[in-house]
Amino acid sequence: MRRLALIFAFGAAILGGAAGSPCADAPVKSASAPAAKKLVEVFPERFRQWGGVSPATPAPANSTSSAATSEAGLIERMERVYSDGKNQITLTIALFHDTSGAYQHYTAGLKPGMKPSTAGALSAVDDTHLIAQVGDLVAEIDNVKSIGEGDLQALIGQLHEHADPTPLPPVRAYLPEKDLVDGSQRYALGPAGFQDAMNMLGCSQYAALAPEIGFGAPIDAEVMTAQYGDRANRATLLLIEYPNPQLAEQHLHHLAGVLPAKGGGEPNGALERKGSLLSLVIAPSSRAYAAKLRQAINYETQVTWNEPSTTATDPPIMSTLVKIFVGTGVFMLFALVLGVAFGGVRVLTKKFFPGKVFDRPEQMEVLQLGLSGKRIDPSDFY
């Protein structure tokens, strides 16, 4: 019976192995691989009074160059028409590999003069068009005057449920806010995005720096640029961030030798480094405005020492001294108590048990040198 059970078990194992074999027709998926996001499922069926009147379909290419779009990691781009019964809008959503690529595409879609929108943290609007980034998604809405502010916020809120929550590149926060020309911000994680940004900002002579900056592995440089100006001043600020100060210092000397000699460079033509960040002010109206713009960059370096230092949480020196004296006093009192206890036990023992515990000269003898004239008597010790 036992042998028969073993035979059945062996046969079941063979059949189970055949069913789970990678040679089977069914594809085998890794348990650790994340499920691919389907862009068609990101489009909401309805938000507030707006409902879809057509299914989501592939969207035509926008004005961004195909090289920059591919560099940003575009996966899919689709559009869908919505209606509230009176008006219609077209919602276009582009899905990217990560939030950095989506941010490059978002800034590439901005136009000078577009104002920040209340629809979301990263959104801009003009008379007819709204663009917003939500994680790894970039949404665009045409005929934006036909939709209310609350409806836009409801739409962006639903998109957040499907978006990647990975933080955006830190370099975007280094740009000064004062005198910033809305819609001129450009982020680039590769040469194609950098060249498009320089051409759009009117600094095409600097587009040739793209191969020299160090985009892509192993350096992975990132660029943020924008235009600044008021009634009397103007300039374009270029920020290049590297993973560490060593790479920044190396590229500081390299780029200084390949900057354009003419055509809009800063009066002194200087790149400056602060930590891992390089900055260049292009075509400033004056040296003073260039220096003012540099000082307004929101970038601070931090140095952490390995050795400990005094902080506000450390106790004051007087409190420490008082504790030392109290501890010493307790130790001395403890030693005194032990000494009295030891002597008292010896005295009591000699009183109640004379000659039985301590006073035993016939069994215990102490060697004495006899340096004095007194006769040596071993019992004197006791």
User: Would you list the domain boundaries of the chain?
Assistant: 39-160, 170-295
Q: b/e per residue, 105-122, with b = 16+ CB within 10 A?
A: bbbbbbeeebeebebbeb
* Helix (H) or strand (E) run with residue 66 in it: helix 66-72
Rounded to whole angstroms, the Cα distance separating 181 from 230 reads 9
DSSP classification of residue 180: B
Residue 369 φ/ψ, nearest 5 degrees: -80, -30
What pLDDT is attached to residue 137?
96
What pLDDT is attached to residue 368?
66
* Pair 108, 158: CB distance under 8 Å: no
Positive or negative, the CA dihedral 31, 34, 39, 40 is: positive
Q: Where are the beta strands (DSSP E) in 232-298?
A: 234-241, 272-274, 277-282
Q: Where are the beta strands (DSSP E) in 48-128?
A: 50-52, 57-58, 74-83, 88-96, 115-116, 123-125
Task: Kindly report the CATH class assigned to 39-160.
Answer: alpha beta
What pLDDT is attached to residue 293?
93
pLDDT along the chain (382 residues), means of 10: 42 43 37 60 94 92 85 95 94 96 96 90 92 96 92 94 93 94 95 95 93 93 95 94 95 90 52 94 92 92 65 79 94 93 83 72 64 67 48
Rounded to whole angstroms, the Cα distance separating 294 from 320 reads 47
What pLDDT is attached to residue 348?
84
Rounded to whole angstroms, the Cα distance separating 43 from 46 reads 9
What pLDDT is attached to residue 292?
93
What pLDDT is attached to residue 326?
94
Closest CA to 102 of 37, 225, 189: 189
Question: CA dihedral in degrees (356, 361, 365, 368; nearest 10)?
Answer: 130
What pLDDT is attached to residue 303?
64
Rounded to whole angstroms, the Cα distance separating 225 from 236 reads 7
What pLDDT is attached to residue 316?
83
Instruction: Count CA within 13 A, CB hemisphere, residue 80.
Output: 20
Closest CA to 147 of 129, 124, 122: 129
Rounded to whole angstroms, the Cα distance separating 35 from 281 reads 44
